Structure 1
Amino acid sequence: MEFLKNSKLYSIFTGTCPVCHEESMYKEHNPYKISRLFDMHERCSNCGTKYKMEPSFFFGAMYVSYAVGIAFATAAFVLSYWVFDLSLLGTFIAIVTVLVIFLPVIVRWSRNIWINFFFSYDPKKTKS
């Protein structure tokens, strides 16, 4: 992922601070540890960016989550129905399975996308 450094995509896919790209926003890197899925640091220890600008800030990520979920479901549909030639029932089961398996990833990416709407990368705040 280093080739994406200094772009919003880097912050979105890695879950790092959207301003300096130096620290993970999450206390637990693995999104599949469900009990710690939403545990975030209050601020970036490198640049001091406050991640939750206001109470309930990440409620907006639910709207992003819908779009990201549709993208995953569409990919599952295309692969299962057109590539693997499954029946409609098999395709439906594949879509539901993909959405359940990737739910923690969808939640994290949605939060990452949402916070990147409000912050931009600042090369002056990176570690030298």
Structure 2
Amino acid sequence: MFKKGTKLYSMITGCCPKCHQESMYSNKNAYILSETLKVNERCSKCNTKYRIEPSFFYGAMYVSYAVGIAFAVAAYVISNLIFKANLKVTFIAIVGTLVLFMPVIMRLSRNIWINFFMHYDESLVKK
């Protein structure tokens, strides 16, 4: 399920959607906020250009909304349904989750967005 060659692998790891051999990001740590969204210009292994056109990643904002909702629902289920927290604590848990995971949500959204347009190509993998 999370094997190289699957879209899910590329989305979760943030690796090149074409060859899955290196990270798209200049820094793998999403929590270095000044570098959270810094994407390499091209893949050094297969030469795939990540910025297909100017403002390409603006479309990731739409994906970010859905991913944020998924994180908020998860926080609600964990805090309210599992731990039986009251409404105020549940609200704080949701907001805290969204703030804490914002760099991850932003990167995950970009990974999902670029994988809509690019597909794994096994012939690019050097053996």
Q: Same fold (TM over 0.5)?
A: yes
**Cα distance, 1:38 vs. partner?**
1.1
CA distance in 1, matches of 2:37, 2:70: 22
Q: Quick one: which amino acid aligns to residue 20 of structure 2?
A: H
Match of 2:102 in 1: 103
Match of 2:92 in 1: 93
CA distance in 1, matches of 2:116, 2:110: 10
1:7 and 2:11 are equivalent in the alignment: no
Q: Quick one: which amino acid aligns to residue 36 of structure 1?
A: E
**Cα distance, 1:122 vs. partner?**
0.5
Q: Deviations over 1:35-61 (max 9, x none)?
A: 011111101111111000100000000
* Unaligned segments of structure 2, at least 5 residues: none
Match of 2:81 in 1: 82
Q: Deviations over 1:67-90 (max 9, x none)?
A: 000000000001100100000000
Aligned residues: 127
CA distance in 2, matches of 1:127, 1:76: 42
CA distance in 2, matches of 1:127, 1:101: 38
* Unaligned segments of structure 1, at least 5 residues: none
Over aligned residue pairs, what C-alpha RMSD do you find? 1.0
Q: TM-score, normalised by structure 1?
A: 0.97
Aligned-partner SS, 1:17: coil
Runs of 4+ displaced beyond 4 Å: none
Match of 2:66 in 1: 67
Q: TM-score, normalised by structure 2?
A: 0.98
Q: Quick one: which amino acid aligns to residue 73 of structure 1?
A: A
Match of 1:29 in 2: 28
* Aligned 8 A contact 1:22 1:127 in 2: no
